[in-house]
Structure 1
Amino acid sequence: MPDHTLGAPWSLALLLIAATTLAVSLGAVPISMADVFSVLTGHGDPLHQTLLLQLRLPRVLQAAAIGALLALTGALSQGMFRNPLADPSLIGVTGGASLGGAIVLALGIGAGAGGNVFLSIGAFAGGLLATGLVYRIARSAEGTSVSTLLLAGVAITALAGALVSILEMTVDNSTLRRVALWRLGSLAGADYQSLTLASGTLALVIALSMPLRQLLNALLLGEAEAGHLGYSTQQSKALLTAIIAGGMGVTVALAGAIAFVGLVVPHMVRLYSGPEHRALLPRCTLLGALVLVLADLISRTLLAPGEIPLGIVTALLGVPYFLVLLRRYQARLVMT
């Protein structure tokens, strides 16, 4: 099937570059495009250089990396579970990662030098544990039940949220505020150190997931059929689980719980590229980056100089689309 122009990777890349350029120029202190290019070429006002290079540029680039991670792990989740609603935030991964990160923050080792690394380790462990529990509950001799999968994800997410709430009741006010603001989602603390962690994780997730595209296509036929085609489904799904938990762990550690990007973006891509993962995964990566750059731009400019938590922005944008998906999914169930 030929690419539609709007959905071609080159067009998404151009849109991402344009959105990134726009995002670094807009904010509480607007910077003209001419001044942006002057700063990027080593000239320009010193104040603009500091504002652009030290504050906005790492934040915008980190938004792109985290958006790509969210969309890519969402596509991997939906492919692994053969479920169009299997976003990491709906199957307990985000809740588990949030709990793991909150424990790190409550212990006082999620701040200061190396804090992002410890946060990522805690969030990765929490996300991996949550994914394993959900999959174990949904797995039976007949295969993986979609309805049980979603219900288990809701239960694990609720349990993780309750445990985080209990944890918040035991910490001091400063830690409580840090945990609460972190959970709402924000890129306000982005710097080049966190950008390096986000971009490095994205590169690793891409390197590990792209060779699995044929496997994901085979899984669309069913686990038994994929096994007949020569794939070791259990080992492959264990690797996919680790990739998803690792990617989500870093995103939750660096930006908090950002919902719906991993659910909505793969569906947007399927509208013009279909379910074939060789086309789906690269496009999800680019479109996810574009969506979160724009969402972060809304987050920090709509009420400037104040800031709306990024998780709230993505929820407001994603919930209507999710409800449409649920209606379509319900209509398919009725027809079958």
Structure 2
Amino acid sequence: MTRNPLADPHLLGISSGAAFGAIMALIHAGMVLGTVTVPVFAFAGALAATALVLAIANLARAQSAGQLILAGVAVSFIISAAGNLLIFIGDPKAAHVAIFWMLGGLGLAQWSHLPYPLAALVLCGVWLMTQTRNLNAMTLGDESATALGIPAQRFRLKAFVACALLTGCAVAYSGVIAFVGLMIPHIVRFFVGGDYRRVLPLSALVGAIFLIAADMAARTVVPPQDMPLGIVTGLIGGIAFVILMRRRTTK
């Protein structure tokens, strides 16, 4: 959608918005809604960040994917700064929990919570799978997609909203886990090509397998400590990404 090889949920401020909502719940608001407080606040933060990006893009009359990305990067920095401010002025003990959550992990996941991300996955995932033809066309650029009868700008906004719902739900229950959304699709494309009829489902499957394997490693590296999952995914993902780039360069 952005024609940017570095695109991931952090690019448009979605993850930063979810983190801000979770920090607000963990440090300042308290568990006002019980066990679902953090997921609800994180999900609301993700949607609010997405709405803010779209509003700024509309205010600036952004017409291209590049302009939308710039709006997302700006919003991401602003929200991240606001989240850090909340941690700085909050209770140091609660701040430790918030920082652990920002690094991601599955330690707080509960079976009773799974219906919510499952609903988002089914609704948004099915819609994205029905749009694979349009996604393939968008990789050619807005002009080519428009020539094929696709309203490029409107379709891009719809896809961003669907991805925001998926990302917001995932981050709400697992925290901000880095590098999976950036690395896994590139690895999948390396083996199966760029057709989104294969890239989308395989990215979901390979990403899930990688995340579970990383979680197992995080729980066994320094027992009985539960290492934040984002540390493991960032370390493994960065090394794998460099190897992948090296293989591409030498061919």
| Shared fold (TM-score, shorter chain, > 0.5) | yes
> 1:171 aligned to 90, 93, 96, which one?
90
Work out the number of aligned pairs and report it. Answer: 248
Identity of aligned residues (%): 34
Contact 1:110 1:119 in 2 (8 A): no
Once the two structures are TM-superposed, the CA of residue 198 in structure 1 deviates from its matched residue by 2.4
> 1:236 aligned to 155, 158, 177, which one?
155
Once the two structures are TM-superposed, the CA of residue 169 in structure 1 deviates from its matched residue by 2.5
> 1:89 aligned to 1, 4, 10, which one?
10
Distance 1:279 1:198, change over 3 A: same
Q: Write the distance in 2 (CA, Å) between the matches of 1:103 and 1:198.
A: 21
Q: How do 1:172-321 and structure 2 match up within 5 A? A: 172-321=91-240
- After TM superposition, the structure 1 stretch with the greater mean CA deviation from structure 2, 157-166 or 286-295, is 157-166
* Aligned Cα root-mean-square deviation (Å): 2.9
For structure 2, list consecutive stretches of 5 or more residues without a partner in the other structure. Answer: none
Q: Write the distance in 1 (CA, Å) between the matches of 2:109 and 2:81.
A: 28
Question: In the TM superposition, what whole-angstrom CA distance separates every residue of 1:232-284 from its partner, at most 9, and x where no partner exists?
Answer: 22221121111111111112111111111011100111011111111111111
Other-structure match for 2:41:
119
Distance 1:108 1:160, change over 3 A: same
Once the two structures are TM-superposed, the CA of residue 117 in structure 1 deviates from its matched residue by 4.8
Larger Cα-atom Rg = 1
For structure 1, list consecutive stretches of 5 or more residues without a partner in the other structure. Answer: 1-79, 332-336
Q: Write the distance in 1 (CA, Å) between the matches of 2:175 and 2:53.
A: 18
Which amino acid in structure 2 is aligned with residue 86 of structure 1?
A
Which amino acid in structure 2 is aligned with residue 220 of structure 1?
T
Question: In the TM superposition, what whole-angstrom CA distance separates every residue of 1:56-77 from its partner, at most 9, and x where no partner exists?
Answer: xxxxxxxxxxxxxxxxxxxxxx
- The TM-score, its normalising length taken from structure 2, stands at 0.86
Question: In the TM superposition, what whole-angstrom CA distance separates every residue of 1:214-248 from its partner, at most 9, and x where no partner exists?
Answer: 11011011112111211122221121111111111
Once the two structures are TM-superposed, the CA of residue 205 in structure 1 deviates from its matched residue by 2.2
Q: Secondary structure at the match of 1:295?
A: helix
Contact 1:92 1:130 in 2 (8 A): no
Once the two structures are TM-superposed, the CA of residue 102 in structure 1 deviates from its matched residue by 2.2
Question: In the TM superposition, what whole-angstrom CA distance separates every residue of 1:156-203 from its partner, at most 9, and x where no partner exists?
Answer: 333222111111133224432332221121111111112222222222
Contact 1:124 1:245 in 2 (8 A): yes
Bigger RCO (CA 8 Å, 6+ sep): 1
